[in-house]
Structure 1
Amino acid sequence: MTVGVDGFPESRAAADWAAREAVLREAPLRLVHVEDWAGVPCAPAFERLENAGPVGAEGLRRRAGAVLEEVADDVRRRYPGLPVSARRMPGRAAAVLSVQAADSQMLVLGSRGRGVVGGFLLGSVGIATVGLTVTPVVLVRPPGEPVPPPAAPVPNRDVVVGVDVRADTDPLLAFAFEEAARRGCSVRAVHGWSLPFAFSYAPQLDPGVRQEAADNVAEELSERLRPWRARYPSVKAEERVLVGAPAEQVLYEAADAGLVAVGRRIRRPPVGGHLGHVAHAVLHHATAPVAVIAHD
């Protein structure tokens, strides 16, 4: 497990969530801070910690090191049996985190508040990191209540997965079912759809058109889930075929989720990775941890 750490409280929440996941998987935890002073959000974060004015690069490095060690010490204290390592690395944050995550089960990052564009995660650095990383990336928001002690049970709320039946869904469904099996919870597969514009008036002429289209979409979703239900018979899987924008429907279903999973297509454009509008919207507005799964 790899987690990105910066000077903001959000990354501390990410570190705690990642530590719980590492314990669940019996895997070591790697904390990574990238010294990317060109990424504007990083430097002010450390300055604000001590209410100080502008400082030089060496001062920022010392403060970054102090923050990293503080987070590492806190995780070791809360999870004494968990192997924890801490790394400070120079470079562009998105590229370094992507490389560091290559041999991990997932990369965990802290996410800012709803709708906020600035900051480490939902700003350009965060979007670039998600777009460049093939390993599953999970974005975690700070909890609205105190973080429970490590031994406290965590409610096994559903894993909600947004499914595009026109895309390669196997990596996404594999992740969702495996996580549900590990947590002992259910999978809720959500597909939002609407009739093409050319058929906008068809339901008025023939009321059966919409129902027929809905049945076809439901059948396609059921077919996508069939092999995963067979592979994970202990996991209850529910289907939600809903009329409306896909992002809105996923967000609605995710309101009480323990984990939300969305996919993104792997593309290699000259300027970096690609994040679709559904994943982008869910990342910005979901309150539960959001996993972004790359697929072809």
Structure 2
Amino acid sequence: MNGSERIRRPHVLFGYDGTAENDGALLWAVEEARRRELDLVICHCWHWPYASGHEDPHAEAIMKRAGENLLERGVRRARRLGVPGTVRRRLMRGPVDEALLSASGAAELLVIGSHDRLDDGATALEVPARSERPVIVVPDGRTRPRRVVVGTDGTAGCDPALGFAFGEAALRGWELHVVYGCWEPSAVSEAELALFNDREALEKTRAAELEDAVAPWRERNPEIDVTVSLLLERPCEALRDAADGAGLLVLGDRGNGPWPLGATSSEMLREARCPVAVVPGRKSRDDWAYASDQDVATPHATADPAGG
């Protein structure tokens, strides 16, 4: 089996930068691979920062070698954390968001780390906005409540996020809290605007929508302890409070444009202190381009001469 065939096997793709802040995200990626019984692909992206015509092959070779050494360290760390299957390392030329998106074609999901402040253009915003796979953004490795919180708007467009949230709760044995902040007059049709002048009618209508959205998933997963909250608040306000008691916050990617990421998901990625999963509602493409500088399969059982 050649490298191209191997990389097309379903796996968890992890963006690795070797920093201490990134270690919590690596731990999460290892746990996802273990619970899903998938391989783990650790990807590091290097980027030549100068304009075309200013290449230096010698300097580029040093940067690539440093990236290879960093990946070796990441593989050893993943093994120590208990990856049960195969760990692959993948060295790619950046920019980081473009490289991760290109590498994500066969991934079941992506895991990336996040720094304290997310400015426009940050990888932790760009990748979830453009990915056709679920992306989990992990800020750090602290211990959190055993609860998944998922935001919904009561429409079928939230089914992917609900399905992912139920799946995570089942995999981890966590409870699940479904939150619908329904005070969103700017997002409804003209025919529904009158509801916001009658809070009782609004609550009754949205409660029925919420029950219809959650019921099929609850029936398929009777073992999960599910709490449902309908709140007459704006989505961000409702989710902000719920996320304080969450070990994982799951959101859809509702928005407009070629790579939509809605205002709620963008704001929660900036504000939430827990891991945030953004689940795309768009259909995935059948294939992606694979532009890897290096793609090496590293079985878990193989001895590591560096002491992994």
Short-chain TM bin: 0.7 to 0.9
- Scaled by the length of structure 2, what TM-score is found? 0.76
> 1:142 Cα shift?
1.3
- 1:170 alignment counterpart: 159
Question: Residues 138 and 291 of structure 1 are in contact (CA less than 8 Å); yes or no, is this contact kept in structure 2?
Answer: yes
- 1:274 alignment counterpart: 260
Q: Give distance in 2, aligned partners of 1:80 and 1:170.
A: 30
Q: Give distance in 1, aligned partners of 2:233 and 2:255.
A: 25
User: SS state of the match for residue 14, structure 1?
Assistant: helix
Q: Deviations over 1:93-138 (max 9, x none)?
A: 223212322212210000111xx135xxx74333222122111100
Instruction: Please point out which of 96, 112, 115 is paired with 2:115.
Output: 112
> 1:70 Cα shift?
1.3
Instruction: Please point out which of 13, 35, 44 is paired with 2:24.
Output: 13
1:151-170 alignment to 2 at 5 Å?
157-166=146-155, 168-170=157-159
Q: Deviations over 1:38-58 (max 9, x none)?
A: 49xxxxxxxxxxxxxxx9444
Residue 93 of structure 1 pairs with residue 99 of structure 2 = no
Percent identity over the alignment is 31
User: SS state of the match for residue 123, structure 2?
Assistant: helix
User: SS state of the match for residue 45, structure 2?
Assistant: strand
Question: Residues 10 and 140 of structure 1 are in contact (CA less than 8 Å); yes or no, is this contact kept in structure 2?
Answer: no
> 1:90 Cα shift?
1.6
Q: What residue identity is the alignment partner of 2:137?
A: L
Q: Give distance in 2, aligned partners of 1:194 and 1:109.
A: 31
Q: Call closer, same or farther: CA 1:194–1:81 in 2, change over 3 Å.
A: closer
Q: Deviations over 1:207-256 (max 9, x none)?
A: xx212211211111111011111111111221111122201211210111
Instruction: Please point out which of 186, 189, 192 is paired with 2:175.
Output: 186
Q: Give distance in 2, aligned partners of 1:265 and 1:213.
A: 22
- 1:250 alignment counterpart: 239
Q: Give distance in 1, aligned partners of 2:196 and 2:79.
A: 61
Residue 83 of structure 1 pairs with residue 69 of structure 2 = no
- 1:230 alignment counterpart: 219
- 1:239 alignment counterpart: 228
Question: Residues 165 and 176 of structure 2 are in contact (CA less than 8 Å); yes or no, is this contact kept in structure 1?
Answer: yes
User: SS state of the match for residue 109, structure 1?
Assistant: strand
> 1:139 Cα shift?
0.4
Question: Residues 4 and 110 of structure 1 are in contact (CA less than 8 Å); yes or no, is this contact kept in structure 2?
Answer: yes
- 2:13 alignment counterpart: 2
Question: Residues 6 and 64 of structure 1 are in contact (CA less than 8 Å); yes or no, is this contact kept in structure 2?
Answer: no
- 2:140 alignment counterpart: 142
Q: Call closer, same or farther: CA 1:57–1:141 in 2, change over 3 Å.
A: same
Q: CA RMSD in A?
A: 2.6
> 1:194 Cα shift?
2.1
Q: What residue identity is the alignment partner of 1:117?
A: L
- 1:23 alignment counterpart: 34
Q: Call closer, same or farther: CA 1:241–1:60 in 2, change over 3 Å.
A: same
> 1:158 Cα shift?
1.5
Question: Residues 94 and 132 of structure 1 are in contact (CA less than 8 Å); yes or no, is this contact kept in structure 2?
Answer: no
1:1-80 alignment to 2 at 5 Å?
1-38=12-49, 56-79=59-82
Question: Residues 264 and 274 of structure 1 are in contact (CA less than 8 Å); yes or no, is this contact kept in structure 2?
Answer: yes
Give structure 2 stretches of 5+ with no counterpart.
Answer: 1-11, 51-57, 187-192, 283-308
Instruction: Please point out which of 121, 129, 132 is paired with 1:131.
Output: 129
Question: Residues 76 and 82 of structure 1 are in contact (CA less than 8 Å); yes or no, is this contact kept in structure 2?
Answer: no
Q: Deviations over 1:161-188 (max 9, x none)?
A: 0102245121111111111111122221
User: SS state of the match for residue 251, structure 2?
Assistant: strand
Question: Residues 7 and 64 of structure 1 are in contact (CA less than 8 Å); yes or no, is this contact kept in structure 2?
Answer: no
User: SS state of the match for residue 112, structure 2?
Assistant: strand
User: SS state of the match for residue 177, structure 2?
Assistant: strand
